[in-house]
Every structure is written in C-alpha cells, then in structure tokens.
Amino acid sequence: MKPPRFDYLRPQTLAEAVELLDRHGGDAAILAGGQSLMPMLNLRVAQPAVLIDINAVPELDRIGRSGDRLSIGGRARHNDVFRSAEVAQAAPLLTVALEHVAHEAIRNRGTLGGSLALADPAAELPACMVCLDAEIVTASVKGERRIPAGAFFQGLYTTTLEPNEILARVDVPAAGTDWRFGFDEVARRRGDFAMAGVAVAVREESKAVAECRISLLGVEMSPRRMEAVEMCLLDAPLGTAANIVAAQSALRDTLEPIEGSEIPPEYRIQIAHELLARVIRAMAAPVSGKRTH
Ligand SMILES: Cc1cc2nc3c(=O)[nH]c(=O)nc-3n(C[C@H](O)[C@H](O)[C@H](O)COP(=O)(O)OP(=O)(O)OC[C@H]3O[C@@H](n4cnc5c(N)ncnc54)[C@H](O)[C@@H]3O)c2cc1C
C-alpha cells in the first residue's frame, strides 16, 4: 500500500522544528527513523497532513555524560546507543536490553525518541527508562519540560507527550559501581517484540540490597515500577531464596496483564514470574566485577 498524501518539512534547527510542530500541532507527525511511522502511513493507521522530518536537526542524536548524568538525544539510533562506551559505562542496562531490540537493519534507523514516543508495551527501552529512573526531556515553543519516565507512559501506545512537543533527549542518572543491573526477556523469535521481559536495578550497601527498581515489558499496558515486588528484595543479600519466592508472589498479586491478545494473560504472568527469579539469580551469581551487566 501507499501512504496518503502529506506535506513534507525538514527543519534544520530545533527552534524551527518546534515552531513547525506548534503551527501544525495535531495535523503533524514527527518522522525520526520511520521504522514504525512509515508502515503506519502505508497501512493508513496514521494519516497526518504534515510530516516533520527531524533528521537534519543537529544535536538530537548526541550521547554524552555530564557529571552524574548521561544524556541521550531523542534521535539517537538504537545501534549508536548500543555501541556507545559511555552508555555501557553509565547505563549498562540499556546496552544489554538493546541486544534484544528488533534486527540490525531496524536498529540502524530506529531511534530512542521514536521508541519512547510510540510506547509499545512490549518495547525494551520504555521499561528500561522506568527502571533507570530516567527523565524524558521534551522541547516545544514554550521551552523544555522534564517528565519522570515513571509518569511518561500512560497506557497502550499512550504517553504524556503533547502534540506540540518533540522528545528531545533522555537524562539517565549515571550508575555508580554499587549498582547492579539485570535484564532478560522471552520472545517467539530473536528480534521479535517480547511476550514478557524484566528489568532490574539494585544498589547494595554492606552486602544487602539498599535500593531496588523493577519494571516489566510485554506484560502490562505500559511499564511502571513494581514497588511491592521491590520491597521483597530490600535489606537482605541479593538472591536470598526466600526473598525471590516472596518477590514472585508479590509480582503475581500486582500484575494487571494485557487482555485480548493471542497471548493468554496467565502465560505472560508465568513468563514474568520465571524471568524475575532468573534475572535476580544471574545478578547475584559471583562475577569478577561488581556489575552483572
Ligand atoms: C519489524 C520490527 C520489529 C521491531 N522489534 C522491536 C523490538 O523487538 N523491540 C523494540 O523495542 N522495538 C522494536 N521495533 C520498534 C523499533 O525499534 C523502533 O523503536 C520503532 O519502530 C520507532 O521507530 P523510529 O524511531 O524510526 O520512529 P518513527 O517510526 O519515525 O516514529 C514512531 C512514532 O514516534 C513519533 N516520534 C518519533 N520520534 C519522535 C520524537 N523525537 N519526539 C516525538 N515524537 C517522535 C513519530 O511521530 C511516530 O508517531 C520493531 C520495529 C519493527 C518495524
């Protein structure tokens, strides 16, 4: 199929991009890597009157660390984030999770901002950003807006992004050496969207878990912190058998799985239940360095 007719605009600066977006608002769509938008146009699921291509806007693909903050531009390609030494150092969870995102060709074009704006419940990066306690930074004619990742995702393919906002960058707290991260997922085939996945971040003090953040993908409509599950792992060494069982039980009680797809909700819960234990055990296993990933 062919897309419907649209006007094509290619701003050269962020100021120009937000001005165009403000002018066209709900009639416009931002074109990043086109990995989802182009199929959506071809299938006429989306019919914007105007496409605003942000690929010529400088700086939007920047990845850089400043002090204890790692910033990743909204147009940073998945493969550039995946191969970034700064990301591997400051947010190794992203490096590990990105291995599971789609296929090489899609990772070459797909972008961080596109993935987060789309908010597919089975996507890896939204869940990781919630787990990392990242902040989404948007740009509009009014200036910047900072949104905690935990408040950004509102439901199935729904975020708090306004029609006149560009997802400009994501600020991630750079992890200290006392943090460990774990990630795993189950997909039908490598590169497919996950049926369920688990991201875990843990900070230890005196060999006990002092802070814990857990989020899931593919199970609920949108990623959120699993606070009741996190509580079960606190104040004890990571990997304590009783705590894993308690965490699995809390997970079952907490989850509100996606209904109405070909994957039965109970199956998603079962995968998440097993993955949670698998990820925690892998993180707790003795490693040469402090970090699992
Ligand atoms: C076959 C296939 C398999 C895939 N498998 C996976 C997978 O396993 N895991 C996974 O996580 N993802 C997967 N994806 C998704 C892919 O990795 C991209 O993240 C996703 O398609 C977004 O693509 P894009 O960045 O090119 O954005 P586009 O397609 O250009 O845009 C997507 C949407 O986001 C909006 N948008 C884009 N950038 C911005 C911005 N900066 N600010 C505001 N709005 C913006 C667009 O207007 C549009 O609505 C898959 C995609 C395909 C086609």
Q: Ligand 1 atom 34: the closest Cα is on which residue?
A: 114
Same domain, 211 and 249: yes
φ, ψ (nearest 5 deg) of residue 285 = -65, 145
Residues ≥6 apart with Cβ < 8 Å to 288: none
Q: From 9, 24, 27, 35, give the residue whose CB has the most ligand 1 atoms within 8 Å, as the site to mutate.
A: 35
Both tokens assigned to 70: 């790692």
Q: What CATH number corresponds to the domain at position 258? A: 3.30.390.50
| Ligand 1 atom, smallest distance to 31 CA | 30
Q: Ligand 1 atom 18: the closest Cα is on which residue?
A: 110
Q: How confident is the model at residue 34 (pLDDT cuts 50, 70, 90)?
A: very high
- Cα of 231 from ligand 1 centre, angstroms: 33
Within a domain: residue 20? yes
Same domain, 148 and 202: no
**CB of 11 within 8 A of CB of 54?**
yes
Is the beta carbon of 140 within 6 A of some atom in ligand 1?
no
Same domain, 115 and 187: no
Is the beta carbon of 132 within 6 A of some atom in ligand 1?
no
Within a domain: residue 265? yes
Within a domain: residue 293? no
Is the beta carbon of 129 within 6 A of some atom in ligand 1?
no
Q: The pTM is what?
A: 0.96
Same domain, 243 and 207: yes
| CA dihedral over 147, 149, 152, 157, signed as positive or negative | positive
Is the beta carbon of 117 within 6 A of some atom in ligand 1?
yes
| Ligand 1 atom, smallest distance to 109 CA | 26
- Cα of 109 from ligand 1 centre, angstroms: 9
Same domain, 167 and 184: no
Is the beta carbon of 167 within 6 A of some atom in ligand 1?
yes
Half-sphere exposure of 214 (CA within 13 A, CB side): 28
Same domain, 47 and 94: no
Given a cut of 70, is residue 137 above it in pLDDT?
yes
| Ligand 1 atom, smallest distance to 125 CA | 11
Same domain, 160 and 78: yes
Same domain, 127 and 166: yes
Given a cut of 70, is residue 293 above it in pLDDT?
no
Within a domain: residue 74? yes
Helix-, strand-, coil-residue percentages of the chain, each rounded to 5:
35, 25, 40
- Cα of 212 from ligand 1 centre, angstroms: 29
Count of helices and strands (H, E) across the chain? 12, 13
Within a domain: residue 2? no
Last residue in a domain, options 127, 146, 173: 173
Q: What CATH number corresponds to the domain at position 41? A: 3.30.43.10
Mean pLDDT of the chain: 95
Q: Ligand 1 atom 53: the closest Cα is on which residue?
A: 35
DSSP state of 99: T
Within a domain: residue 78? yes
Within a domain: residue 1? no
Q: For residues 188 and 271, give the distance between their C-alpha atoms in angstroms, rounded to a whole number.
A: 12
Domain count, the chain: 3
Same domain, 237 and 169: no
> Kindly report the CA angle at 280 between 203 and 196, in degrees rounded to 5?
115
Within a domain: residue 262? yes
Q: What CATH number corresponds to the domain at position 151? A: 3.30.465.10
Element (H, E) at 126: helix 124-131
Domain enclosing residue 97, as ranges: 63-173
Same domain, 39 and 126: no
Q: How confident is the model at residue 191 (pLDDT cuts 50, 70, 90)?
A: confident
Same domain, 231 and 216: yes
Both tokens assigned to 146: 């900072």
> Kindly report the CA angle at 227 between 289 and 240, in degrees rounded to 5?
45
Candidates 96, 104, 93; CA nearest to 131 is 93
pLDDT tens digits for range 223-237: 999 999 999 999 999
- In terms of pLDDT, which residue wins out, 291 or 264? 264
Last residue in a domain, options 117, 145, 173: 173
Same domain, 201 and 274: yes
Give me the DSSP letters along 23-81.
Answer: HHGGGEEEESS-TTHHHHHHTTS---SEEEE-TT-TTTT-EEEETTEEEEETT-BHHHH
